Structure 1
Amino acid sequence: MADMKITAEVTAGVCKFKTVIQAESDGEGKVELKITSLCPQCKRMEKTITAADPYAELFGAGDNEGESVYEKAQRLAVHKTCPVPLGILKAIEAAAGLALPVSASIEMSKGE
């Protein structure tokens, strides 16, 4: 696993709240996380989601010591369609060297 420090910025839909996720591999199989958000719901994740086992989060293997990112987000009342939990997972994946640090997006438009 390559040691890598990743910063991901997520601006969620209509609310426009910005969340910054810093993820860094500790070199021993875990990824340390620092989440900073202006969203009241996502702000709850700042102290709750501080580290993760990338293999447990992404593949259901390894040791995540309890709840996954999505389970924690749900328990903390983060809206189900909020893109922040996915942004956290993308940052974990890139910091662990399991994916390239490339941006992802969802573009919405009204039908005619």
Structure 2
Amino acid sequence: MARVEIYGGICGFNTTVQVAGAGGRKVKITLESECPNWQKAAEYLREYLKEVDAYKEVFGKLHESETYRLYAPFIPHPACLVPAGIVKAIEVAAGLALPRDGVVKVINE
């Protein structure tokens, strides 16, 4: 299982994503968030999206990703870091990447 903690920045909302193997290339995603938009997405996830194909999510085109396609109606802010965190968790849970932090550092000059 992989867990990714995402600190939203200026919005102040934190999100935790857990991804566990569900057999073969399939993984199951669990999401908890302080963000009301991601809370709606998490409800949708629990009800409709039981598992995803890790290889399609990690190696497919961005616009074809279940992560980006299915969550788009819930998330009004395109710079949100949560979708990237979800894909990173999928990568690690599926054994397609080692667990290592990534950083987005914003500097206003």
TM-score, normalisation: structure 1: 0.83
Mapped partners of 1:99, 1:78: distance in 2? 29
Q: Which runs of 4+ in 1 moved over 3 A?
A: none
37, 43, 46: which one aligns with 2:42 = 46
- Superimposed CA distance per residue, residues 79-110 of structure 1 (whole angstroms, 9 cap, x where no aligned partner): 11100010000000100000001111100111
The residue aligned with 1:70 is: 68
Give the CA deviation at 1:67.
Answer: 6.1
Task: Give unmatched runs, 5+ long, in structure 2.
Answer: none
**1:108 and 2:106 equivalent?**
yes
Superposition RMSD in Å: 1.8
Cα contact 1:52–1:92 (8 A) shared by 2: no
The residue aligned with 1:59 is: 59
The residue aligned with 2:18 is: 22
Cα contact 2:56–2:65 (8 A) shared by 1: no
How many residues align? The count is: 103
* Structure with the largest fraction of helix: 2
Mapped partners of 1:67, 1:110: distance in 2? 31
Task: Give unmatched runs, 5+ long, in structure 1.
Answer: none
